[in-house]
Each structure stands twice: as structure tokens, then as C-alpha cells.
Amino acid sequence: MKNIKYIITFLSLALVLGSCEKETYEFGELVAPSNLVVTADIVGADATHPNGDGSGTVHFNVSADNAITYRFIYDGAESTNALGTKTYTFSTTGTKKYAVTVVAYGTGGVSSSKTVEVEVLVVYAPPADLLTMLTADSSRTWRLKAEASGHFGVGPADAATPEWWGAGPFDKDGFGAYDDRFIFNVNGSFTHITNGDTFGKLAAMAADLDGDQGLSPDGNGESVYTWADYSENWTLSAPGGQETLTFSNIGYHGFYVGGNHSYTILSRSENEMSLRTVGADGLGWFAILIAE
């Protein structure tokens, strides 16, 4: 009986030790992206106007073998896009060369990069009343017009109104957006006061900001997200004759959706403006801002 007991004990110990063996994980072969190709489409460029139509807008498209995602770097600002697309609206008046670096990332973070230079014409001079509205000729603070219907909304990328959904008054109260403040200075600088958190599409915030922060999105893919105040720059342009506000990095209208961070000014008055941007999901996202 004692021998049987010893045998059982030995077998139990063997099973325990066997279960403690470390599992081995392999990433597979780390292959750096190759055949990195960057194309730059200057809006309005043709044989007569090789530097574009003066809007300063350039669409970049990137492809590479074995690439998982791409990062665009211009003037110290970075943005990531898995599709390899990025639009910049340059703002320095006159014809100027701009250098944009693209990094393609493969498995395990290995990368390849390329810097391209484009020569672009910018002729836009914003109307004086637009500058006054935005900055009060010095500095002006804006907020979401949370009390109005449609202060947030979504629709087609080329729609003039949020055809699919518009928020009711204070519909997103408690989600970290209504206490945000947007400060536009006449020198072209911008500060977004988030008061410690923000609101938006979690997939876009995770890609562009600080990962998913261990959060899970709600049924609409949205989440409240920890994000500190930040400052960057803004510019105005008018591609196709449409007044457009563009941020230099991640600037947004209180609901983060990624994209190119350019906001078409659909309508404006002395103290209010309606905006639309195209998010990373290709949809049109709307907001109404009002000056404090």
C-alpha cells in the first residue's frame, strides 16, 4: 500500500512540474517593409500650374510590401494611418518646398522610411472678418454649443448637415466634451483645454494618441479618454473656395475621430460656426462651436 502511495505521489509531482514548463512564443521572421513608394498629389497641379492651385493642399499616398501601418512626420508633428493616406494643407504664402517623412512599419516594429519634398503654391489670404470672428483680432475662446440640437452629428463625408444623426441638447452630458475650451490666437497658435479627459471614437484615439488605455468602447465605438491640455497651430485655407480650418497635429472639435484634422466651415456668424471634418472612418463628423 505504501508503494502505491509513493507511485501516486511521484506521478502527481511529475504532472505539476510538467504543467509549469514555460510556453515558447515566436513572432516569426521580422521583415522590414520594402518597395516603399510615396506619391504626392498637389491639388490643382497641371502643366501650367505645377505647384497647384494655391490652396496648399497635398494628398499623400503610400504603399510598401510587408507593411502593417504608416507614420507621417511633418514639422515635428506625427500621425499614424494604416491605409497609408494623409492630407496636408500647407499655409505659408508663396511657393515653398515642404519635406514630409513617411515611416512604414512591419512585424515586430521593424521599419523603413523615406522623405519626399514637394513644392507647393499658397495664395490664400483669409478674409479679415473670418480672422476677427475666430480670434477677436487677439485671442478668443470657444466651446461646444451643447444646448443646441445638432451640436454633434454624423453623415456622409460631403454632406452639409448631419443627415444620419444629430445630438439633442446636452445629449452627451458627462462624457468629458462639454467642459472643453478651444482657444484661437491671432498668431496662429491654438490651445485645447480638455480638463483632463476627452470623448470620441476609441479606435481613432488609440491609433493617434495613447493606445486604448485599457478601455472598452460602448456600442457606438465611443469612450471617455484621459487626455491632457495641449497646444499646436492652426491655419486657414479655401480649397475649392470652401473656407477650411486645419490643425497642425491632433486638433479636433471636442469629439475625436482622427482623419486629417481639417474642418470645413459650413456656416459662420459673428459668434458661431458649424464645422465638418472627415474622420478616419471616412464619415463626416459635425460640430457647432460658439464663442464664450
Q: Cell numbers of 1, please?
A: 500500500
Residue 238: its pLDDT value, please?
84
Q: Cell numbers of 250, please?
A: 491632433
Q: What is the pLDDT along the chain (292 residues), one digit of tens a residue?
A: 444 444 444 445 444 445 555 555 455 678 889 999 999 999 999 999 999 998 889 999 999 999 999 999 998 888 888 999 999 988 777 899 999 999 999 988 899 999 999 999 988 889 999 999 999 999 999 999 999 999 999 999 999 999 999 999 999 999 999 999 999 999 999 999 999 999 999 999 999 999 999 999 898 899 999 999 999 999 998 877 789 999 999 999 999 999 989 999 999 999 999 999 999 999 999 999 999 9
Residue 26: its pLDDT value, please?
56
Domain ranges of the chain: 34-122, 128-291
Q: Which of 222, 186, 188 minimizes the C-alpha distance to 205?
A: 222
Dihedral sign for Cα atoms in the order 206, 196, 77, 261? positive
- Residues 12 and 213: their CA atoms lie apart, in Å, by 42
Q: Which CATH fold topology does 34-122 show? A: Immunoglobulin-like (2.60.40)
Pairing mode, if any, of strands 85-89 and 57-65? antiparallel
Residue 30: its pLDDT value, please?
81
Residue 149: its pLDDT value, please?
95
Residue 13: its pLDDT value, please?
43
